[in-house]
A and B are shown apart, each in its own frame.
Chain A
Amino acid sequence: MSSVGLSRPRAGGAVWLALHAEWTKFRTLPGMFWLPVAAAVLTVAVGAIAAGEYHCAGSMCTAAGGGGDPARISLTGIYLGQVLVAVLAVLVVGGEYGNGMIHVTLAAVPRRQVLLLAKAAVVAGLTFAAALAGVLGSMATGRLVLTGRGMTPANGYLVLSPRYDEYLRAGLGSVLYLVLVALLALGITMAVRDSGVAIGVVLGLLLLFPLVIAVMPDHALARHLEQASPVISGLSIEATINESSLPLAPWQGLGVLALWAGGALLLGGLLLRRRDA
């Protein structure tokens, strides 16, 4: 007599299997592949437009004289890139809730923290790859364009290059920024279980702070909101000049976004554990 059955995977193997399953789902769903590609391409494209639109005159052209920040200008496309990254994260979770696939998934991977870990790993890995391509492309484009617009050592600017710590921090930090935005979106989608609502909540959270702060007359309150804002605090990692005028120091700012993302993942994870599907 021979027993036919599935071999029971080891504990570590469960994570790998779940990860593999998540990767297969992403890879084989039509249209999903284009989201990270579009995130990278649009980030570079908007950055190129912003760099091309940059003009300065007279004393405005110097780093000390109120000229722009080459890293920030080159990375303007992050504002659009984060929307696509958030959509990607929302769809990885919300798509399953939309078509009922989540029941099958939870039957196959009953340990919910394993599922959350696998989904987070796939989303983070994809976002990391897309963000790395987008940020490298943006900064290379920025270097090409902005050097011709007066952002030269003669005006007090360092040439955009990973040799300098500020630019390395801005570039690496922006990649991390996009990964954290994706994880924030993932956690929120786990919590609300509907793609449309989730993307609304995520983008509302990201874009509302800057929109309200921009028109707010109360400057003290605006400063506090800037510090709490995932986008404004998070993107302070892009700053390479005038760091003293930031609401928070660059890494502290990214830390605020990390807190938001961690909180969202915790909330999503807890609700995932406590609820039925």
Chain B
Amino acid sequence: MTTLASHQSEVRTGRDGFGRLVHAEWTKLRTVRGWVVALLLIPVLTGLGALLLTNVSCSLVGVDGQPVACVAPATGPGGEAVADSFYLARQALAGDGTITARVTSLAGRHTPVSTSPTPVTGGFEPGVQPWSKAGIMISAGTAQGSAYAAMMVTGGNGVRMQWNYTGDSAGLPGTVSASSPRWLRLTRSGDTLTGYDSSDGTHWNTVGSVVLSSLPSSAQIGLFATSPSYIVLAPTFGGGQSQATGTFDRIALTWPGATGRWIGTGIGSDPAGPNGPDPFTGSFTHANDTITVTGSGDIAPEVPETWDGVGVKAQDALTGTVVGLIPATIVAALFVTAEYRRGLIRLTFAAAPRRGRVLAAKAVAVGSATFVAGLVGAAIALASGIRLLSAGSPVLPMSTFTEVRMVVGTAALLAVAAVLALALGTLARRGVTAVTAVIAVIFVPLLLATLPGLLPLGTQEWLLRVTPGAAFAVIQSLPAYHQVLGQYQPAFGYFPLSAAAGFAVLCAWTAAALAAAGYALRRRDV
């Protein structure tokens, strides 16, 4: 009897384990000199965008035609930059209480259309703006950026409750007039402020209730009016300042220590400032239980894309992202097509017959490399860009979370777009076809969507909802505020989708392309 020795292969199993596949693909990637150069170009080109910013200045011009130094806008309780200038008739009152007032009219006037934010001293035209506002307010103080909550009538958006610059809640619709007045009420109970409105003074609706934790015991209670700048887009870009006058009566203050004496204060107004006397200096009158308050400006987040907006957005520092995207996607596409061109793909598939795993390993290798390169580039670009920008113009602040989202988002955008290019390269198998597909899918729609005036705005926004370029929303540093009228267009860095949704669009493209590439790899010979 003989026993048969088992003939086990000496080669250990697991040679095509996923870790080894990734290692093999990484070796292929890092040993081609041109690809390493291109990978190094990603952070360089992404970071170079920041260098374009050295010459940016805020182009404010005074009455005398000389440039005016830009003052950084105040910051609100949430840390965001705010436009905070209005006129307030106020009383400082401690403890809890209720203020009620009836608004019988909101009137306004504005400067004629001018193409640049130079102060205009005459030729005023009548009319209110959609976000001209007059109403009642409880505020932490008279400094710009103080915490507050207010009930107001607006020129075109009905009654609103607004708080801490970004909060906005709608009340009764319609415009205010003597025959159709609006009753407003604000109640303080500890840190909780509740706003009510009414059309007749007897039936009250709650508009909103907010907790202002930074409200001191003694707060400013008052009546205010203000009116933001306006924009016209045709025939050419222009706009001007505006002013609003609110008329209040039936004013009731149920507050311990309340008197009939009101103190007028112009918040954020600078009557003797570098622009000379402000034609819209605020004021108030008090006669026969009727108070009129006249003011100009806004109580809202600062938006650079308004007629008199100041500051620049930090996302300008990431202008180079689209430049860095080119080497990232081209390397990824050529990373796979080069194997087809040289025939190496046969060897690769002989060594690792499960082709889907090869594709996944390539995606991990090229995705990680571009992610790291993008992370370095975006971090350098944002840090140095903010520094360079601040030399010429105030950079509007943003939260640490937003900064991290912008940097990590840029890196993720580069990495996922590179994987999309890899999948397209796998489908195309030829370098030139793959790169052309990458350009046609990613860059051409992005170009059509961001070039101002090339396509109608609606079409541009639609393109940025459905094409991979939607992911550029991750670099948007400031949100678009519906309560501030500005040029929220792709050309000015405002995207139609949120950062997460835009990034999801790119991921969906990449997932679909990867699935198609995986399917094609299984069905094809090589």
Contact = CB atoms under 8 A, between A and B. Distances in A.
Interface residues of B, number: 48
Q: Among A59, A87, A197, A215, which residue has the most Cβ atoms of chain B within 10 A?
A: A215
A98 interface: yes
Interface string B287-331: 000000000000000000000000010001001101100100010
Contacts of A207: 439, 443-444, 447
A37 to B, nearest CB: 16
Contacts of B436: 83, 87, 199, 203
Q: Among B323, B334, B431, B450, which residue has the most Cβ atoms of chain A within 10 A?
A: B431
A81 to B, nearest CB: 11
A65 B443 contact: no
Interface in A189-211: 194-200, 203-204, 207-208, 210-211
A80 interface: yes
Contacts of A221: 52, 55
Contacts of B450: 211, 214-215
A50 B463 CA distance: 13
Q: Among B341, B432, B436, which residue has the most Cβ atoms of chain A within 10 A?
A: B432
Nearest to A87: B436
Contacts of B341: 98
B54 to A, nearest CB: 8
Q: Among A59, A196, A198, A218, which residue has the most Cβ atoms of chain B within 10 A?
A: A196
A60 interface: yes
Given A58-B234, A90-B432, A208-B326, A196 B443 contact: no
Interface in B50-107: 52-56
A30 B368 CA distance: 38
Given A60-B235, A208-B326, A218-B56, A80 B444 contact: yes
Contacts of A243: none
Contacts of B430: 195-196
Contacts of A216: 52, 316, 319
B34 interface: yes
Interface string B448-480: 101111111011000000000000000000000
Dominant secondary structure of chain A at its interface with chain B: helix
Interface string A235-272: 00000000000000000000000000000000000000
Contacts of B326: 200, 204, 208
B322 A210 contact: no
Contacts of B330: 196-197, 200, 204
B195 interface: no
Contacts of A212: 49, 52, 319-320, 322-323
Given A211-B446, A211-B450, A53 B456 contact: yes
Interface string A48-74: 001001110011101011101000000
A220 to B, nearest CB: 6
B323 A208 contact: yes
B211 interface: no
A241 B236 CA distance: 14
B34 A197 contact: yes
Contact of B236 (A66, A214, A217): A66
Nearest to A222: B52
Q: Among A59, A195, A207, A216, which residue has the most Cβ atoms of chain B within 10 A?
A: A195
A196 B456 contact: no
B432 A215 contact: no
B491 interface: yes
A65 B235 contact: yes
A76 interface: yes
A218 B454 contact: no
B506 interface: no
A214 B460 CA distance: 13
A217 B312 contact: yes
Interface in B171-208: none
B440 interface: yes
A272 B259 CA distance: 92
Nearest to B389: A217
B316 A217 contact: yes
A91 B431 CA distance: 11
A207 B434 CA distance: 17
B236 A220 contact: no
A79 B447 contact: yes
A16 B395 CA distance: 63
Nearest to A189: B432
A94 interface: yes
Q: Among B234, B236, B341, B452, which residue has the most Cβ atoms of chain A within 10 A?
A: B234
Interface in B310-363: 312, 316, 319-320, 322-323, 326, 330, 333-334, 337-338, 341
B443 A217 contact: no
B475 to A, nearest CB: 9
B34 A196 contact: no
B55 A218 contact: yes
B377 interface: no
A196 to B, nearest CB: 3
B496 to A, nearest CB: 16
Given A98-B341, A214-B451, A79 B444 contact: yes
A210 B493 CA distance: 14
B443 A203 contact: yes
A216 B312 CA distance: 11
Contact of B444 (A83, A91, A196): A83
Contacts of A211: 322-323, 443, 446-447, 450
B435 interface: yes
A55 B459 CA distance: 11
Contact of A83 (B440, B458, B491): B440
Interface of A: 50, 53-55, 58-60, 62, 64-66, 68, 76, 79-80, 83, 87, 90-91, 94, 98, 194-200, 203-204, 207-208, 210-212, 214-218, 220-221
Interface of B: 34, 49, 52-56, 233-236, 312, 316, 319-320, 322-323, 326, 330, 333-334, 337-338, 341, 430-432, 434-436, 439-440, 443-444, 446-448, 450-456, 458-459, 491, 493
21 contacts: A66-B233, A76-B454, A80-B440, A83-B439, A98-B341, A195-B431, A196-B435, A197-B334, A199-B431, A199-B435, A199-B436, A200-B435, A204-B326, A207-B439, A214-B447, A214-B450, A214-B491, A215-B316, A215-B493, A217-B53, A217-B312
Given A200-B330, A208-B322, A221-B52, 17 more contacts: A58-B234, A62-B235, A66-B236, A76-B455, A80-B440, A80-B444, A196-B330, A196-B333, A199-B432, A199-B436, A200-B439, A203-B435, A203-B439, A212-B319, A214-B450, A216-B316, A217-B312
State the 5 A-B residue pairs at the shortest beta-carbon distance, nearest first.
A196-B431, A195-B432, A66-B235, A200-B330, A65-B235
